[in-house]
Amino acid sequence: MTQVSFDRFFNYTELTSILEGWASSHAGLFQLSSIGKSHESREIWLCTVTNLSTGPDTEKPALWLDANIHASEVTGCTAALHLVDKLLRQHGADTKVTRVLDTRAFYIVPRLNPDGAELALAERPRFIRSSVRPYPRTDRQDGLHEQDIDGDGRVLMMRIPDANGAWKPHIDDARLMVAREPDETPEDGRFYRVLPEGLLHNFDGTTIKVAKAVEGLDMNRNYPMEWAPEGEQHGAGPFPTSEPEVRAMVLAMTERPNITAHITYHTYSGVHLRPYSSYDDERFPPVDLRTYKKIGEHATRITGYPAVSVFHDFKYEPKSSIKGGADDWSYEHLGIYSWTTEFWNPQKEAGITDFHMIEWLREHSVADDLKLLAWSDDKLGGKGYIDWYPFDHPQLGRVELGGWDVFYCWSNPPPERLEQEIGPHADFAIFLALISPKLEIESLDVDRISGATFKVRAVLINSGWLSSNVTQKALDRKVSTPVEAELKLPPGARVVGGDAKVELGQLEGRAEKRSLLWWFADESSDDRTKVEWVVECPRGGSVAVEARHHRAGYARAEAVLSAGE
């Protein structure tokens, strides 16, 4: 068994080695393939995890999980590996893990954006939003470009003494920069201009502006749902699925109609996000909204993270919305329940409570900043917030470097906290897979009518919590086909009553049978159906029934027809 440590992040070579090791040691549970190549021609690895001795992945309900579409959000990749490791290690030992791999499948893409992650994990890192492809411009803009200029493996901040600077040291802790008061003049103290650590392109010796990175794509705006061009949605690319990584994922998911749920791993905020990004909850079919909220309650119980709507609780701007996101696309177009998990919340770690994540980023109290500094000192050994130190900048002269090491403790949990943070999320992924629809043949009976004529009766059930179609949206979109049952006969036999292959509609699950007033609950048996055939079989033999649904899986049973009397 490949040994994986979950207190660190892995570059592309290390990631590939881990995955190839699992493919070698767990061939009956784990298959490794590629869904395509990144912009820089790295393989985008797909892990298919299921017990192949109980059937192929394509005949089982499946969960799709992808991670690390944003370059510096490498926590998601390690979390995806942690899930695979748990599944492989605990199959045969843990009841739920064994059940889920015996009856379901997982499609896991640990790193959807291998190019961007390589930049973030380099010895001298650069942090971009997602793809390394230049867009929308190919030329480097004049101004300050963020990068590690002193070679310490960190990208911090620079502060430069400037009588017209907008920042000053806090009176109680000089490390903390606070806003200068509107009426303060140079005679009132020492003021600073605060900039990202980096170098200036075409510096004129006087003016400084922070330039936009040439890599302006945000691949989580490139999905087909509500896609909008650059003027309406920054970073969305020239057209939906223009980026090879997104196109590979969209194609791979649509080629696997057995997918019933989707999770995409991001950082940070410590929250589970659900659609929609561009619409309020009125857009949902009521049954889907009720089920989304119920799943969210379980997500919170399992992981401790709240489950919220992007539109209602996570908008960046009150009058704008996110377009072209993965979770919106997979719910709206595929009709599956889709979640975005944002790992990690440093504010909560520092004891800050009762705050709105997005609004806090715009404005918060200095008291919160002091709590965060104390947290870095006490819990992180001072590694989170770096005290200012002098540096001779090749263009700006004497500056000071310091401030938050954002990659270390904001964009991701500190490595020493990583496994503790990601651990419970494997259990949520397993839960989400286990609530999928599951088609079974409850009984297969044969009754002789007379001589060589038999009645064959099969009773099919959906033993899963969700309906076979998963969502009402899937029915509205007409992307969920009905349950099929097919009778297969021995040589010389024929069907004389009914069609050998029949469509049986959808089978409900238990998701809507959850009223607290159990005496008013509807226990109609809409989770099962029966199909009957009349068969002539003069020579006897075995009759087989195959039931199938692209989301609820396959089920098979056989019965013996004795020779005619």
User: What CATH number does the domain containing 278 carry?
Assistant: 3.40.630.10
DSSP 249: H
Q: Clarify whether residues 322 and 421 are in a common domain.
A: yes
State residue 316's pLDDT score: 79
| Token pair for 187 | 């005679």
Q: In DSSP terms, which residues pair with 401 in a beta bridge?
A: 158, 389
* pLDDT for 362: 86
Q: Please list, in sequence order, all residues whose beta carbon lies within 8 angstroms of the beta carbon of residue 366, skipping any fewer than 6 positions away.
A: 170, 176, 178
> What are 293's two structure tokens?
């909220």
Query: Residue 10 has what DSSP assignment?
Result: -
Determine if the peptide bond prior to 268 is cis (ω within 30°): yes
Looking at residue 215, the DSSP 8-state letter turns out to be B
Tell me, yes or no, whether 180 and 252 share the same domain.
no
Q: Could you give the CA distance from residue 58 to residue 56 in angstroms, rounded to a whole number? A: 5
Whether residue 454 sits in one domain with residue 362: no
Q: The whole model's pTM is what? A: 0.96
Residue 65 lies in a domain: yes
Distance CA 199, CA 436 (A): 52
Measured in Å, how far apart are the chain's first and last C-alpha atoms? 58
Residue 306 and residue 250 in one domain = yes
Residue 333 lies in a domain: yes
Nearest to 350 by CA among 285, 425, 270: 270
Q: To which residue do tokens 């503790």 refer?
A: 420
Q: Is residue 2 part of a domain?
A: no
Full domain range(s) for residue 456 = 439-561
Does 115 share its domain with 152? Answer: no
The reported pLDDT for the residue numbered 521 is 61
Tell me the two tokens of residue 325: 């996101």
User: Reduced to 3 states, what is the DSSP secondary structure of residue 222?
Assistant: coil
**Cβ-based neighbour number of residue 273 at 10 Å:** 26
The span from the CA of 160 to the CA of 178, in Å, is 14
Largest Cα span, the chain: 113
Count of structural domains, the chain:
3
d(CA 556, CA 565): 28
Number of residues in the chain? 565
> pLDDT at position 272, please?
98
Residue 135 lies in a domain: no
128 is a domain residue: no
Residue 279: name the closest of 313, 316, 321 by CA. 321
DSSP state letter for 52: G
Dihedral sign computed on CA atoms, order 438, 101, 263, 513: positive
Residue 68 token pair: 């690390």
In a domain, 378, yes or no: yes
Do residues 559 and 543 lie in contact, with contact meaning Cβ atoms separated by under 8 Å? yes
Q: Could you tell me which residues come within 8 angstroms of residue 171 by beta carbon, excluding any fewer than 6 positions away?
A: none
Which residues, in sequence order, are CB contacts of 400 under 8 Å at separation 6+?
Answer: 158, 159, 160, 388, 389, 390, 391
Same domain (yes/no): 106, 229: yes
Q: Taking the chain (565 residues) in consecutive chunks of 10 residues, what is each chunk's mean pLDDT?
A: 89 98 97 98 98 98 98 98 98 98 98 98 96 93 96 97 96 95 94 97 94 94 94 93 98 98 97 96 96 98 97 82 94 98 97 89 92 97 97 97 97 97 98 98 96 96 98 97 97 95 96 65 83 94 96 97 70
Q: Note whether residue 136 is domain-resident.
A: no
Is there a single domain that holds both residue 418 and residue 445? Answer: no
- The distance of Cα 488 from the centroid of its chain, to the nearest Å, equals 40
Note whether residue 32 is domain-resident. Answer: yes
- Whether residues 42 and 106 share a domain: the answer is yes
Same domain for 249 and 287: yes
Shared-domain flag, residues 395 and 423: no
Q: What are 343's two structure tokens?
A: 């790992």
